[in-house]
Amino acid sequence: MNNKTVRTRFAPSPTGFLHVGSARTALFAFLAARKYGGQFVLRIEDTDKEREMEGAIGHIMESLRWLGISWDEGPNIDGPYAPYVQSSRLELYRTYAHRLVADGLAYQDPYTEEEVEAWRKQAEEEKRPFLFREHRPASHFKGAGQGTWDGRSALRFRVPHIKRYTWNDLVRGELTAGEEALDDFILLKADGYPTYNFCHVVDDIEMQITHVMRGEEFISSTPKFLSLYEALGVEPPLFATLPSILGAEGTKKLSKRDGAQDILEYRAQGYLPEAMVNFLALLGWNPGTEQEFFSMEELIEAFSIERIQRSGAQFNTEKLLFVNHHWMRELPDEEYLARARREGHLETTNEARLRKAIPLLKERASIFAEADEMLTGELSCLFLRAAPLREILLAKDPNDPAQHFTETTLKEVHGLITGLAEETSAEEIKTYLMAYADRNPKEQGGRGAILWPLRYALSGQERSPDPFMLIHILGKQESLLRIEEAIDILKE
Ligand code: GLU
């Protein structure tokens, strides 16, 4: 690494929402800047006006904020290289363009779009690559200091050397490509807007970017960028190519079905930003240790560009759920509820019971959407009273002698619960009732013959949390009512 201050950037085009792949790129660039004590820049690359999507910039910024990826310079923060939105930097690109024209390294495109398109088609039919430079008009290039450009026509780069380029990618090592990628590409379109190939190089130079981190789709164009740096007489930045993200099969690129969705979709479903960040960091980077869970601070500490992998990283939804579950369990109960509510989850009419049920939800649900389902599914007994069925209250096996004692034992447990203090923990209730259940003789079904009907009487569900937890969450009055109802049913 050279000794310049590390400056990385995330340069999204506002053509869509922030999805998993771009979020991972942003995160890695952010981590590198933080790790090496540098700056992280957010730059909006909005020169393709036709593909621009309304609201995308706001959405991208909101996604980054949610993830905790903060930028030091960007559209909403003034910085030394402002503005940070390309459509507001058109003057700068023109200045660079004029410089290239003056140096004889750019020329006015003399052809119509139709002419160029016809050559492209012809090359395609002949199955050979189309190279504009083969049609470079000799008459239009008169050497340095003599080029002309009316400023209203498209401007093309005059690629100075047709040669192979070899560069060192910080992740992939030595890469080489050349002639086939080099061409007289368009710098500025007739409408005055620059092409990506041109303006991102200008901006990376102007913004003093030291490390360019992006996906592998840019490798094949790198000779183009390098020839432009050469023409401008500027040392290129360091390149770090991030591995592609593969779907569940591990072969194809991540698709919508595998989880390539908008980051804010994850937020809506009740994933935590801590988990997303932890998960995204491990998509193509590894700490070299067994550590699985990382906070942002820990990531900054542990991160290194050297440990970014070359091969594709598999997106595993199970793993994401697992990581999310971990971070959900780390939240204090109050925070758990506050976070859920912020996204419209865990709405219920019985706040007191919901609060007491949080430890159960934490244990069972990997995301808030799953916790919601539990409130109306396997944990619905916490809120709704479902009448138990007589035959289930009794032992399932009609010959089981334990059934003859069910009514009596429920009555005894009822008496015990009556003696409980109002706010007793599930743990205390357990100790208290187990002392009684354990005394039940084997011939009368042992502790199971007490705990089963009790749990079922309380829940009305064959599967539910244990009876101690139920009594704790339902509260004394509701628990007693439910047991009374069960006793009545047994009398029928
Ligand atoms: N605007 C480009 C994109 O969104 C940025 C590529 C780059 O990082 O240079 O793909």
Instruction: For 325-335, write each residue's pLDDT tens digit.
Output: 999 999 999 99
Distance 242 CA to ligand 1 centre (A): 13
Atom of ligand 1 nearest to the CA of 200: 9
Most confidently predicted of 108-122, 319-333, 433-447? 319-333
The answer to whether the beta carbons of residues 231 and 157 sit under 8 Å apart is yes
Place of tokens 């390098």: 226
The larger pLDDT score, comparing residue 489 to residue 253, is at 489
The answer to whether the beta carbons of residues 106 and 100 sit under 8 Å apart is yes
From 4, 142, 256, 396, the catalytic residue = 256
> What's the confidence (pLDDT) of residue 180?
87
Which distant-in-sequence residues (6+ apart) come within 8 Å of 324 by Cβ?
271, 272, 275, 276, 279, 366, 367
What class does CATH assign to 390-491? Answer: mainly alpha
Task: Select from 196, 205, 213, 217 the residue to mutate for testing ligand 1; criterion: most ligand atoms less than 8 Å from CB.
Answer: 196
Residue 402 has pLDDT above 80, yes or no: no
CB burial of residue 444 (10 Å; 0-12, 13-18, 19+): middle
Strands (E) across 67-210 are located at: 106-108, 155-157, 165-169, 173-177, 186-188
Residue 179 has pLDDT above 90, yes or no: no
Q: What percentage of residues in the chain have a pLDDT greater than 70?
A: 96
The answer to whether the beta carbons of residues 209 and 216 sit under 8 Å apart is no
> What's the confidence (pLDDT) of residue 249?
82
Atom of ligand 1 nearest to the CA of 217: 10
> What's the confidence (pLDDT) of residue 116?
92
This prediction's pTM: 0.92
- Locate CATH 3.40.50.620 in the chain: 89-242
Sheet of 7-10: strand order equals 39-42, 7-10, 211-215, 238-242, 165-169, 173-177
Cα distances from 240 to residues 25, 37, 212, 213, 429, in angstroms, run 11, 18, 6, 5, 58
Decide: helix, strand or coil at residue 7: strand
Copy the structure tokens of residue 156. 């093309």
The response to whether residue 46 sits with its C-beta less than 6 Å from ligand 1 reads no
The response to whether residue 200 sits with its C-beta less than 6 Å from ligand 1 reads yes
Task: Compute the residue count for the chain.
Answer: 492
Atom of ligand 1 nearest to the CA of 15: 4
Q: What percentage of residues in the chain have a pLDDT greater than 90?
A: 82
Using pLDDT thresholds of 50, 70 and 90, give the confidence band for residue 120.
very high
Residue 58 has pLDDT above 80, yes or no: yes
Report the distance separating Cα 455 and Cα 467, nearest Å.
5
Copy the structure tokens of residue 82. 């402002």
Using pLDDT thresholds of 50, 70 and 90, give the confidence band for residue 64.
very high
The response to whether residue 195 sits with its C-beta less than 6 Å from ligand 1 reads no
Using pLDDT thresholds of 50, 70 and 90, give the confidence band for residue 2.
low
Residue 399 has pLDDT above 70, yes or no: no
The response to whether residue 204 sits with its C-beta less than 6 Å from ligand 1 reads no
Cα distances from 206 to residues 45, 80, 209, 229, 230, in angstroms, run 15, 10, 8, 12, 15
Give 147-161 pLDDT, tens digit per residue: 788 888 999 999 999
Active site residue 476: no
Q: Which helix (H) or strand (E) is 213 found in, with range?
A: strand 211-215
What does 8-77 look like in DSSP terms, one character per residue?
A: EEE---TTS--BHHHHHHHHHHHHHHHHTT-EEEE-B----GGG--TTHHHHHHHHHHHHT---SBBTTB
Give 23-52 pLDDT, tens digit per residue: 999 999 999 999 999 999 999 999 998 999
Using pLDDT thresholds of 50, 70 and 90, give the confidence band for residue 492.
confident
The answer to whether the beta carbons of residues 140 and 184 sit under 8 Å apart is no
Give 73-105 pLDDT, tens digit per residue: 999 898 999 999 999 999 999 999 999 999 999
Distance 348 CA to ligand 1 centre (A): 44
Asked if CATH classification 3.40.50.620 holds for the domain at 89-242, the reply, yes or no, is: yes
Copy the structure tokens of residue 450. 């007490």
Task: Select from 8, 9, 13 the residue to mutate for testing ligand 1; criterion: most ligand atoms less than 8 Å from CB.
Answer: 13
The larger pLDDT score, comparing residue 91 to residue 394, is at 91
Phi then psi for 488, rounded to 5 degrees? -60, -40
The response to whether residue 45 sits with its C-beta less than 6 Å from ligand 1 reads yes
* C-alpha count within 13 angstroms, C-beta hemisphere, residue 370: 15
Residue 363 has pLDDT above 80, yes or no: yes
Task: Select from 15, 25, 43, 45 the residue to mutate for testing ligand 1; criterion: most ligand atoms less than 8 Å from CB.
Answer: 45
Report the distance separating Cα 20 and Cα 23, nearest Å.
5
Distance 355 CA to ligand 1 centre (A): 45
Residue 426 has pLDDT above 80, yes or no: yes
- Locate CATH 1.10.10.350 in the chain: 390-491
What does 429-454 look like in DSSP terms, one character per residue?
A: HHHHHHHHHTTS-GGGTTTHHHHHHH
Distance 26 CA to ligand 1 centre (A): 11
Residue 202 has pLDDT above 70, yes or no: yes
Using pLDDT thresholds of 50, 70 and 90, give the confidence band for residue 178.
confident
Distance 224 CA to ligand 1 centre (A): 15
| Closest residue by CA, ligand 1 atom 6 | 11
> What's the confidence (pLDDT) of residue 444?
82
Q: List beta partners, residue 211.
A: 8, 238
* C-alpha count within 13 angstroms, C-beta hemisphere, residue 336: 26
> What's the confidence (pLDDT) of residue 137?
81
Give 270-329 pLDDT, tens digit per residue: 999 999 999 999 999 999 999 999 999 999 999 999 999 999 999 999 999 999 999 999
Distance 45 CA to ligand 1 centre (A): 7
Atom of ligand 1 nearest to the CA of 213: 8
Residue 199 has pLDDT above 60, yes or no: yes
Of 333, 320, 334, 332, nearest to 270 by C-alpha is 320
